[in-house]
Amino acid sequence: MIFRKLVPKDKELFDKYKSKDSRYSENSFVTLYIWDKYYNLHLCEEDGFLFIRFTIEGKNQYLFPMGEGELKAAFEKLLKEEDKINLRFVTDWQKAFIEENYPDMFAFTLREDLCDYVYETERLMTFSGKKLHGKKNHVNFFEKNYAYAYERVTKEVAVNECKPLLLRWVDEKTKNLNPIEHDAMEKVFDNYGAFNLVGGVIRIEGEIVAMTFGERLTEDTVLVQIEKAREDIRGAYPMICKLYLENEWSDTTFVNREEDMGIEGLRKAKESYGPIFKTLKYQAKRI
């Protein structure tokens, strides 16, 4: 197979092959492409399937073949690429397919750091229930103490206001330039229109204090790729979550807020919103 470098216009090609019912964040071209500086992504379209290759620290890894044709034939093509092939982001049904058709050929490792957190849209719009009582209190405080306004993000606002502000927030939090995260954020805004992202911001006295961006992943699921807010403003985070879903995604049932990357603070934050399940992901290495 001949692989070539992934480019922004490949979103249309990717969307042609992506699953219509997968709630995994890797079912999004944007999620993969914006982290290209880390993943070094290449693709190959052949015989009705799309193949994606990552190169991380000089070693190749692959996505499970994307397409609806003769799946076993497509997987056989992948097996010929490398003797000790390594597959990344393997889902439950993909793991079952490999185990059934290639018994004892692969070792599987559950990657808990890469598992997505999935929530009920309705609960994140209302923060109802005992587990989310603290979030509701923060939202109530925000509503009572700030004269705020929510607005959908235009391309002009995304590029001229959100991009520089978000990069500044990233630097202030990490205390140093993070080239991979900077590259990811720049890819989001430089391709904002082409990616068909939907963004929302909260302003207080005209100043943006919270922002979020996402896209429809499946008919019933929205994927939230970015959510940032001023940490010195109580309630800004749960408020942007609530308003974004109310205004843009009230017709969905589920919200995928992506993985925690193995970061303890991020894990606690995602758990605090009460996920209803996590999308399990495995690393599959040929023995």
The whole-angstrom separation of Cα 70 and Cα 281 is 23
DSSP 212-278: EEEEEEETTEEEEEEEEE-TTSTTHHHHHHHHHHHHH-TT-SEEE----TT-HHHHHHHHTT--SEE
Domain residue spans in the chain? 4-114, 117-258
What tens-digit pLDDT sequence spans the chain (287 residues)? 999 999 999 999 999 999 988 999 999 999 999 999 999 999 999 999 999 999 999 999 999 999 988 999 999 999 999 999 999 999 999 999 999 999 999 999 999 999 999 999 999 999 999 999 999 999 999 999 999 999 999 999 999 999 999 988 877 876 666 788 889 989 999 999 899 999 999 999 999 999 999 999 999 999 999 999 999 999 999 999 999 999 999 999 999 999 999 999 999 999 999 999 999 999 999 99
User: What class has domain 117-258?
Assistant: alpha beta
Instruction: Examine domains 4-114 and 117-258 and report if their fold is the same.
Output: yes
Predicted local confidence at residue 173, as pLDDT: 73
Question: Is residue 29 within 8 Å of residue 194, measured between CB atoms?
Answer: no
Residues 6+ apart with CB under 8 A from 152: 198, 199, 200, 247, 248
63 phi-psi bin (left φ>0, alpha ψ -120 to 50, beta other):
beta
Predicted local confidence at residue 168, as pLDDT: 87
The domain defined by 4-114 carries CATH number 3.40.50.300: no
The whole-angstrom separation of Cα 95 and Cα 37 is 27
Predicted local confidence at residue 220, as pLDDT: 97
Predicted local confidence at residue 176, as pLDDT: 62
Residues of 72-84 as b/e, b for ≥16 C-beta within 10 angstroms? eebbeebeeeeee
Residues 6+ apart with CB under 8 A from 229: 202, 209, 210, 211, 236, 237, 239, 240
Predicted local confidence at residue 193, as pLDDT: 87
